Structure 1
Amino acid sequence: MNRIKYVAALGIFGIITTEFGVIGILPQIAQHYQIGMDHAGWLLSGFALVIALFGPWITLAAARFDRKKMMVLTLSLFIISNVLSALAPPFGLLLLARVLPAFLHPLYFSAAIYAAVTNAPEKEKHSATAVIFGGVSIATVLGVPVTSYLASVFTWQTAFAAFGLVNIIAMTAVILFIPPMQAKQEATVGTQMGLFKNRVFLLQAITTSLMIAGMFAVYGYFAEFMEKINYLNGVQISKMLMLFGVLGVVGNWVAGRLLSKSLVATLAFFLLMLSLIYTLLYFINGYTIYTVLLTALWGFIHTGCFLIGQSWISSAAKGAEEFANSLGVAFTNLGIALGTTIGGWVIINFGIQYTVWASIVLVGAALVLTGIRLLNTSSAK
């Protein structure tokens, strides 16, 4: 039974690597198609926007079906997407191939958590969920920098082929090791849809979206930022991404420990640290020890925010946790789409160095909403 959560996490690694791996190769793609970074950025923001708009409803509609079949179907679409992308089709077709599997992205995420928790002993259910989120962390550690490295040594098409191979391995593992899991509808559709009438849930979901948007206004263009502002080459960028990811795993672990003590204090602390990091990013440039240390701190804080955001959303969804997991993924990706779109606009109109100020504004808005949530809680007492 213990291996089920790891197999499910392997699939998470595959789909998150496919989603975020493009961050490390956007400059090469933009150069290949002779397009601006704002247009190339749609390979990330378009993917995220589809998840945000369609993912929860597809997850809700598929609630009656066998979770194993849904996981296999999702990974199949990711494989097809990566094969098509590796062929370097016209940009419009590349964008279509990219967004194709995004429709089922939250479906796999929700099913993976369900598989891990359902097949774990009661006392191990929280740790099983942590393993699933560990797939996100490992994708950041290995997937994104390895993608950048492959593109710098070979071609960006090679990176998409690597994505496809990872998803083939994940799908094979799901077929072999995860048992059939017919869903048991524990919450009614009315209960789940009632989340949209819950003001606390909406406030916390919007806060999470703004935080993620602030993160991706800069991080979505990490490779371009490091190349233009810090003068790094492809191999150096992949090393920085690796450092970013390794510290991110540590940050994810620390965030989990802090969350057990105080969710809101952890959220506020990470938001303040993000604002500080983005401010320093504006003033520190070139390939120096300060850049390396700041990138390490950035990765530490950045990755922990995913777990914090998901926990912040789920904490306001009692009785509809599974649908909330899907909505959490949707609001996170809405933030990714918003952040990368704003970041692309700033790059075209002002220059990539000013994306940090867009991030500061968005993170600041999230911090204000966190304060409003605290005030409401205090007044209710």
Structure 2
Amino acid sequence: MKKYAYIGCLGFLAVITTEFGIIGILPQIAEHYKISIDKAGYLLSVFALVIALTGPFMTLLASGFDRKKVMLTAIFIFLITGVVSSFAPPFWLLMLVRILPAFLQPVYIATALSVAVSQADKKRENELMSIVFSGVAIAMVTTVPFATWLASIWSWEYSFVIQAIVSVVALAGIYFVLPSMPVKEKKSFGSQLKILGKPTFIISTFMNFFMITAWFSTYSYFAEYLNKTKAMDSTMVSYMLFVFGIIGVFSNWVAGKMLNKNIAKTTAFFLSGTILVPILLHFSGGNSIATIVVIAIWGFLYSPSFLNASTYMISSAPDSLEFANSLATSFGNLGVSLGTTIGGWIIITKGVGYNPWIGFFFGILAFLMIGLRSFYEGKTIL
């Protein structure tokens, strides 16, 4: 039922607003706590690292519980994070409350996807999954830029107020719309762990990891990059996030349709942005119009990355949707953590202008993984 997919999308909106809403305010947080931008980036990279390290195990542990209760519990923890963070606590406490929801983020995503496709036929699964994942793009066009804009007018704490409000709305949607969904037949851990021995799944996992690392080496420092290399102030950055997101809503819809036809080709098409965008950013220079056009292209090619990564991995293990997706989420977030960490290091040692070229390098590695899987399966993506 599409209704379930839209509820999953609403919760995803809260999840992404909390995880990535901080991207637009990292410079302000660094200034407030008198720390360097790379240390402020820990708020994103540590969040992602916790997801990467605990996601599959948490998903396996939660796989036997009522899906509605699992989704409600996860979003409630995100609500607590938004509320506590809005009071500008000491940095160590801000870090702690950022970490807490990370334990349940992959559990929420895997459960929401499972709920969305629970009553659908195989032909519509990718389309319904794209509806859930559109929460990423919608957050990029609504709550993330809005929170950044509010922070630019008043203070960064208001960004977390928005996160808390979105979580309340998501909680209400899940509570009042979703029926109780007890798990009728729990799969054994052993049957789900079998996918770890499949070469195509392992190759797909590396593709996911390299692709997300490529994107987040620059995207994590979106505000810093536009501040320093394109001379945009915080208000202009919020507008750029809006452009980035509104294009992303459309591109997620396009990706959902394309994935139904060919998963490998669709993944390769959007992955091409990791190669193309660094080149375009370099040649756009200080031209504002050219930069806006490049950001639109960037938003189009980046936005379906988590959808593409999950679908690409699940396609190599179709009988273990929830566990495969939790691994996709974990390794994707490991990519977020590595990309953010390397990006922060490059900013300190070389300057933020070099960050897109990290993406270029990891994008090449991701393409090699797509080629390797296609070779292993005896297929061609061309």
TM-score normalised by structure 1 residue count: 0.95
Residues 19 and 47 in structure 1, CA contact (< 8 A), matched pair in contact too: yes
Partner residue of 1:44? 44
Equivalent residue letter for 1:375: F
Equivalent residue letter for 2:63: A
Structure-to-structure mapping, 1:143-154, within 5 angstroms: 143-154=143-154
Residues 129 and 307 in structure 2, CA contact (< 8 A), matched pair in contact too: no
Give the Cα separation in 2 of the matches to 1:87 and 1:103.
Answer: 22
Give the Cα separation in 2 of the matches to 1:379 and 1:359.
Answer: 27
Equivalent residue letter for 2:131: V
Give the Cα separation in 1 of the matches to 2:34 and 2:23.
Answer: 17
Structure-to-structure mapping, 1:143-292, within 5 angstroms: 143-185=143-185, 187-292=187-292
Distance 1:286 1:2, change over 3 A: same
Distance 1:123 1:354, change over 3 A: closer
Cα deviation code 1:294-321 (max 9, x no counterpart): 1111100001222211111111113211
Cα deviation code 1:341-369 (max 9, x no counterpart): 11011111110001111111111111122
Distance 1:237 1:287, change over 3 A: farther
Give the Cα separation in 2 of the matches to 1:378 and 1:110.
Answer: 30
User: By how many angstroms is 1:141 displaced?
Assistant: 1.5
Residues 63 and 186 in structure 2, CA contact (< 8 A), matched pair in contact too: no
**SS of equivalent to 2:227:** helix
CA RMSD between the two structures = 1.8
Equivalent residue letter for 1:151: A
Cα deviation code 1:104-163 (max 9, x no counterpart): 001111221222222557775544322211212211211221121011011110110110
Structure-to-structure mapping, 1:322-341, within 5 angstroms: 322-341=322-341
**SS of equivalent to 2:12:** helix
Distance 1:269 1:117, change over 3 A: closer
Residues 52 and 330 in structure 1, CA contact (< 8 A), matched pair in contact too: yes
Give the Cα separation in 2 of the matches to 1:2 and 1:244.
Answer: 26
Aligned length: 380
Task: Please list every run of 5 or more consecutive structure 1 residues that lacks an aligned counterpart in the other structure.
Answer: none
Give the Cα separation in 2 of the matches to 1:308 and 1:125.
Answer: 13
Equivalent residue letter for 2:128: A
Residues 56 and 330 in structure 2, CA contact (< 8 A), matched pair in contact too: yes
Partner residue of 2:321? 321
Give the Cα separation in 2 of the matches to 1:126 and 1:302.
Answer: 18
Residues 267 and 308 in structure 1, CA contact (< 8 A), matched pair in contact too: yes
Distance 1:363 1:140, change over 3 A: same
Partner residue of 1:73? 73
Give the Cα separation in 2 of the matches to 1:294 and 1:10.
Answer: 29
Give the Cα separation in 2 of the matches to 1:176 and 1:146.
Answer: 27
Cα deviation code 1:154-208 (max 9, x no counterpart): 1110110110011011112211221111113353311211122112101111111
**SS of equivalent to 1:260:** helix
Cα deviation code 1:214-237 (max 9, x no counterpart): 000000000010111111111111
Residues 4 and 119 in structure 1, CA contact (< 8 A), matched pair in contact too: no
Residues 64 and 186 in structure 2, CA contact (< 8 A), matched pair in contact too: no
Moved more, 176-185 or 65-74: 176-185
Moved more, 247-256 or 88-97: 247-256
Task: Please list every run of 5 or more consecutive structure 2 residues that lacks an aligned counterpart in the other structure.
Answer: none
Partner residue of 2:299? 299
Residues 191 and 319 in structure 1, CA contact (< 8 A), matched pair in contact too: no
Partner residue of 1:54? 54
Residues 63 and 185 in structure 1, CA contact (< 8 A), matched pair in contact too: no
Give structure 1 regions of 4+ aligned residues with deviation exceeding 6 angstroms.
none
Give the Cα separation in 2 of the matches to 1:256 and 1:7.
Answer: 17
User: By how many angstroms is 1:103 displaced?
Assistant: 0.2
Residues 231 and 287 in structure 1, CA contact (< 8 A), matched pair in contact too: no
Give the Cα separation in 2 of the matches to 1:286 and 1:152.
Answer: 22
Partner residue of 1:132? 132
Residues 248 and 303 in structure 2, CA contact (< 8 A), matched pair in contact too: yes
Residues 66 and 182 in structure 1, CA contact (< 8 A), matched pair in contact too: yes
Distance 1:4 1:305, change over 3 A: closer
